[in-house]
Structure 1
Amino acid sequence: MSVARILVSREDDDQAGYEYLRAVPGLEIVEYDPNSLNLSESQRSVELLMPPYRGSHRPLDLIELLPNLRMVQLLSAGVDEWRPRVPKHVMVASARGAHAGPVSEWALSAILAQLRQWPALVRFQDQHTWAHRKFDAETLAGMRVLIVGAGSIGMAIARKLDAFGAESTLVASSARDGVHGPDELPQLVAGHAIVVVTTPLTDATIGLVDAKFLAAMDDGALLVNAGRGQVVDTDALVLELQSGRLRAALDVTDPEPLPADHPIWDCAGAIVSPHAARTVPGTNRLCYQVAAREIATFLSGGTPSNAAYL
């Protein structure tokens, strides 16, 4: 059997996945430093590249230094940073599916935190105030939730919401049984107390949640973004938050990282987490399990299920 060689980061989060890669027939691990462009001749000769688990954009410039490259296997759910930089003849595959559990858990926690007024309660606690009857909590039971992005993450969120008695409406890039297509989205926004964004970043989704979309949301509705910051028009969202008409829970922002002087920090109706929805113990192993499966499929001559195309 011929052997294919793959560049894999030597950082701790990545070494946790070596066992899965070593189990792939015909694959040899070649370690590299994702912070450096200095590659040995042996490293330059590899056929596969895996960006690191954290800060996956760091080795983007290595693409031009790998003449034999045939595949880039990502550990992220999205491919938007990499696909435009990778030559058309090189396969790009994601780790879609590995993030569904952690990110859906974050989405549910963000929704419940907002509905049960935990940000306000923490501020009361900081002031040593017993806030009985000083805030208005809501229940998730019976609420209608619009999920924009019906991939593995969006579907996992819908399952969790169902357990709380909420009703989910799903929208994807194409319609299928139980899932609406993008052309229906403008008519679906109103009537939902919560809108959850999990769609990947594509030409069709950049700025999708714009001023018109936000204006169509019900008064008091909650926007949850667990997808990509560029899907939401930040300036338009700030205006809605400052007016107090909408609320938001954001794991991703545009710009990102969010500057210290950005107005979203001071919006009482917003909670922000630092692109950390997947960051819980064990997610890196889940990503490597999916990645190893994709690589094995590729090396056997098949098409990885998470392959991304231009």
Structure 2
Amino acid sequence: MSDSAAAIKTISFPDQDLLEAVRPLPDGLRGTVWDFRGDPADVDVADIDAVVLPYLNAQDILDVLSRATNLKLVQAQTTGVDGVAEAVGSDVAIASAAGVHAASTAELAVGLALASLRGIDAAARDQRDARWRHERRLSLADRKVLLVGVGGIGAEISKRLLPFEVELTRVGSKAREDEHGHVHGSDELVELAREAEVLIVITPLTDATRGLIDADVLAALPDGALVVNVARGAVVDSDALTREVVSGRISCAIDVFDPEPIPEEHPLWQAENALITPHVGGDTSAFQPRIVRLLKRQLAALGSGAEPENLVQRGGAWS
């Protein structure tokens, strides 16, 4: 047990319901509620060693974390931890909720692709007008799918694509071989995009991936291609995507965008070849039981002095 890990005694939760869901806490750990709008009811902010961020709108409260002057660990309820390191510095450990949202986000990625290709969104619009319009649409079967992102959610998307008999090409940060075959490097994206009929984006947002799907990649896609983004909005060049979609050359089915929410006057709202969901990839019935199970494992690790899961920044406690 490291000295810093042993010093984690007080952990805050963003609401009482989540704290109750993970009880009983291991011996030696104390839970409190801190909603980041005021002060915790029963402890001083300076006594908080670890915090669980809220699931929704966590970005809006990151500046408040500086009040926890003895903070050693931040636990996110999301897979992405955008902006957390900048808010807390390098001495604080950061853990993601990797795995919690994998199944839900993967099923949405496939669902968006199916809905767009098969025209389910168009049929829903037609239904309001009692309009019966038969068209031959594209099938997901036999499509050439380019999957950008081979982490936990990317692996789940790959598994769900297999029964649809697609021709799958996977892209990671660097070219390599893994247990499923070849992974192309992101430096090959423009060339790979020339053959892609469906581009699915699920890479984390980092300095290296911001704008990764840029105007050159989008322009390389064949006419009629579909872009599915279930990663972070800023991984895709929003202006370039909008130009390509509004022109009618390609389609998009997106759960994320930059900025969010998409402004009311934005042209994508009116584009018939755009399918938009409001960043709901991980927010399903699967979320609550899975985040509770993860948090219980994290608390057990902290209680025993073991290293918690999903550390994306080790800080001083587990360096």
Same fold (TM over 0.5): yes
- AA aligned to 1:157 is I
> Residues 2 and 254 from structure 1, CA distance in 2 versus in 1: closer, same or farther, beyond 3 angstroms?
closer
Taking a change above 3 Å as real, the CA distance of residues 149 and 51 of structure 1, as seen in their structure-2 partners, is: same
User: Structure 2 vs 1, CA of residues 154 and 60 (structure 1 numbering), >3 Å: closer, same or farther?
Assistant: same
Alpha-carbon distance in structure 2 between the residues aligned to 1:167 and 1:263: 32
Contact (CA 8 Å) 1:24, 1:292: kept in 2 or not?
no
Equivalent residue for 1:140? 140
- CA displacement, residues 68-104 of structure 1 (integer Å, 9 cap, x when unaligned): 1100000100011312111211000100111011111
Verify: 1:6 aligned to 2:11, yes or no.
yes
Cα separation, partners in 2 of 1:232 and 1:264, compared to 1, 3 Å: same
Please list, as runs of the form range in 1=range in 2, the aligned pairs for 1:14-53 lying within 5 A after superposition.
Answer: 14-15=18-19, 18-20=20-22, 22-24=24-26, 26-34=28-36, 36-39=37-40, 42-44=43-45, 45-53=47-55
- The one-letter code matched in structure 2 to 1:309 is Q
Task: Tell whether 2:229 aligns with 1:229.
Answer: no
State which drifts further: 67-76 or 167-176: 167-176
In 2, are the aligned partners of 1:22 and 1:28 still within 8 Å (CA)? no
Conservation of the 8 A alpha-carbon contact between 1:234 and 1:253:
yes
Backbone CA RMSD of aligned residues: 2.1
* 2:157 alignment partner in structure 1: 157
- The alignment status of 1:199 with 2:200, answered yes or no, reads no
TM-aligned CA deviation for residue 200 of structure 1: 0.7
Contact map agreement 1:143 1:166 (CA 8 A) in 2: yes
Kindly provide the amino acid, as one letter, of the partner of residue 96 in structure 2.
S
Instruction: Determine the C-alpha separation between the residues in 2 that align with 1:197 and 1:304.
Output: 28
Code of the aligned partner of 2:39: N
- Using structure 2 for the length normalisation, give the TM-score: 0.88
For the Cα contact (< 8 Å) 1:37–1:59, is it kept in 2? no
Deviation, structure 1 residue 282: 3.2
Could you list the per-position Cα deviations for residues 279-300 of structure 1 after superposition, in whole angstroms to 9, with x for gaps in the alignment? 2113022123223334543554
Name 1:119's counterpart in structure 2: 121
Secondary structure of the corresponding residue to residue 68 of structure 1? coil
Point out the more displaced range, 271-280 or 297-306: 297-306
Deviation string 1:39-90 (CA, Å, 9 cap, x unpaired) is 4672411100111122222431232111211000001000113121112110
Instruction: Report sequence identity in percent.
Output: 37
Distance 1:22 1:54, change over 3 A: farther
What secondary structure, in the 3-state scheme, does the structure 2 residue paired with 1:168 have? strand
Q: Which has the higher contact order (CA 8 A, sep 6+)?
A: 2
- 2:25–2:31 contact (8 Å) kept in structure 1: no
Counting matched residue pairs gives 304
Preserved contact between residue 161 and residue 167 of structure 1 (Cα < 8 Å) = no
1:250-269 paired onto structure 2 within 5 Å: 250-269=254-273
**Unmatched tracts of structure 1, length 5 or more:** none
TM-score calculated relative to the size of structure 1: 0.91
Instruction: Verify the 8 A CA contact 2:33 2:41 in the aligned structure 1.
Output: no
Please say if 1:276 is aligned against 2:277: no
Contact 1:47/1:71 (8 A) holds in 2: yes
